[in-house]
Amino acid sequence: MPKKLLLNDKSVDFFKKVSELSGEVITLCDQCGTCSGGCPIIDEMDISPSQLMRMVMLGDEEVMDTKTMWLCATCNTCTVRCPRELDVSKVAEALRQIKLRQSFDKINIDKIPKEDLKELPQIALVGAFRRLTS
Amino acid sequence: MKIPYYPGCTLKSTAKHFEISAIESAKKIGIEFVELPRWNCCGVVASLADDDIMHNLAPVRNMIRVLEMNRDGLVKDEKRLLTLCSMCFNTLSRANNRIKKKSDDLDILNDFMYKEDIDYDGSVEIIHFLEIIQELGFDKIEKNVKKSLSNLKIAPYYGCMLLRPKDVGIDDPERPTIFEKFITSLSAKPVEWNNKNKCCGSFLTVDNKEIVVELGNDILTDAKNSGADIIVTSCPLCAFNLDNRQKNIKAKYPEFKEIPVVYFTQLMALAFGLSKEITGFDGNFINPTKLLKSKNIEI
């Protein structure tokens, strides 16, 4: 079903916040889909990286409820391929930061199995905690 | 040549064999690693949010140590900081590039670190061991090869952090060749394959193991189908996801056949004829000893 989008103060504020946190000029995105085509994790995502960019551009806060921003591993494949030289990984980080700065934790550290903690290298744990916990 | 060296946490724990093989092989080509005094964690991942200045503190403190080493005579006019771990390389480089571009951020950081003797001035350069090898010349490696690896087909795995983003990458992000040149100089054969710079899933291995299993299966199967006997990497996180996680891949795909994944410096030490203690193949999850013996390469 087609969705009606209304630009109002709230959506404009949301767009501005993401632009400010990411430092990216999100409206430069042409929606060419190169980022989505090269993303190694797209099969696991509910919306593609280019859909994420479009939703932010329209100030659609429903993007906050999607899985995609939590699955970006910052591999920067899209970053080096974007014809507009945009960094989608920074936009994903901006969305994560909006949640994390409200004391939200994507990973519950207590729930990581002990046997996993024994074998995981520190860089995996520190990297995940930096990106996915407040 | 004496050069400041940043090990990072993993090279002192799960990737000790990476560090030892690198230090000893480097000596053979005339490079002495001088470990940074009082080094601290790099933060593992780069700070991405535009207002996140705080997470650049840890990288910058390490760069101040390099300036101190020069001041204290531990190295002579050497402001390059050498890294082995791809994650450390990327995080330190990105922090360094950011503050070079945003002098306001650097002022804030220097102002915060009132206990440091020296202000950071952006003059340190972060480099990877492969870059130093390239600078010295691959013929220097060739001349030190004592044990031929000519029977060995090696898939170079770059992963992400050595190549991307462009301003920190050590080579072309889409068509890199530095690892291939290195492998050729060791007398082995580099394999051409598609997934050499595909992401292994990185830290998602903590809470999304199944994604890493799928990515690992794709990457490793491509390497084998391309004729590789073994894979080399320079990233301890890729090493974990591609080596240790093979047990998880095997659990999901019983027909999966194992392939060893080692650090490039281990094969360097092997080709240079260094001892078993230095090549450190016992440190790899899938020990390549059997494979190497089948290729008539003595350990």
Domains of chain B: which residue ranges?
2-129, 138-294
Judged by CB atoms closer than 8 Å, whether chains meet at B164 and A93 is answered as no
Residues A20 and A58 in one domain: yes
A77: closest chain B residue by CA: B164
- Nearest-angstrom CA–CA distance, B104 and B111: 11
Residues A56 and A25 in one domain: yes
Please indicate, yes or no, whether the overall pTM of this predicted structure exceeds 0.90.
yes
Q: Give the mean pLDDT of chain B.
A: 97
Number of other residues whose CB lies within 10 A of the CB of residue B138:
16
- Nearest-angstrom CA–CA distance, A4 and B60: 48
pLDDT value for A13 = 97
Give A105→chain B minimum CA distance, Å: 12
Residues A18 and A82 in one domain: yes
pLDDT value for B76 = 97
Residues A87 and A31 in one domain: yes
Q: Is the residue at A90 inside a domain?
A: yes
A38: closest chain B residue by CA: B198
Contacts of B73 (CB under 8 A, 6+ apart): none
Task: Give B125's DSSP letter.
Answer: E
- Dump the DSSP string for A32-75: --HHHHH-TTGGG-SS-HHHHHHHHHTT-GGGGGSSHHHH----
How much of chain A, in percent, has pLDDT values that exceed 90?
93
Q: Is the residue at A96 inside a domain?
A: yes
The tokens of B296 are what?
């008539």
HSE, side-chain direction, 13 A CA sphere, residue B88: 27
Q: What is the mean pLDDT of residues B286-298?
A: 97
Q: Is the residue at A74 inside a domain?
A: yes
CATH code 1.10.357.10 for B138-294? no
Assigned CATH class of B2-129: mainly alpha
The tokens of B248 are what?
């998880």
Residues A68 and A134 in one domain: no
Task: Give B58's DSSP letter.
Answer: H
B166 touches chain A (CB under 8 A): yes
- Nearest-angstrom CA–CA distance, B222 and B200: 13
B216: closest chain A residue by CA: A40
- Cβ atoms of B26 and B251 within 8 Å: the answer is no
pLDDT value for A6 = 73
A116 touches chain B (CB under 8 A): yes
Residue A5 has pLDDT above 80, yes or no: no
Q: Is the residue at A4 inside a domain?
A: no
Residues A96 and A120 in one domain: no
Q: Is the residue at A39 inside a domain?
A: yes
Q: Is the residue at A82 inside a domain?
A: yes
> Between A7 and A35, whose confidence is greater?
A35
User: Residue A52: exposed, middle, or buried by beta-carbon count in 10 A (0-12, 13-18, 19+)?
Assistant: buried
Domain count, chain A: 2
Is residue A127 very low, low, confident or very high in pLDDT (cuts 50, 70, 90)? very high
List, for residues B101-160, the tens digit of each pLDDT value.
999 999 999 999 988 999 999 999 999 999 999 999 999 999 999 999 999 999 999 999
Judged by CB atoms closer than 8 Å, whether chains meet at B48 and A121 is answered as no
List, for residues B188-232, the tens digit of each pLDDT value.
999 999 999 999 999 999 999 999 999 999 999 999 999 999 999
Domain extent at residue A116: 106-134
Which of A108, A122, A123, A129 best probes binding to B when mutated, by most B CB atoms within 10 angstroms?
A123
List, for residues B226-266, the tens digit of each pLDDT value.
999 999 999 999 999 999 999 999 999 999 999 999 999 99
Residues A83 and A128 in one domain: no
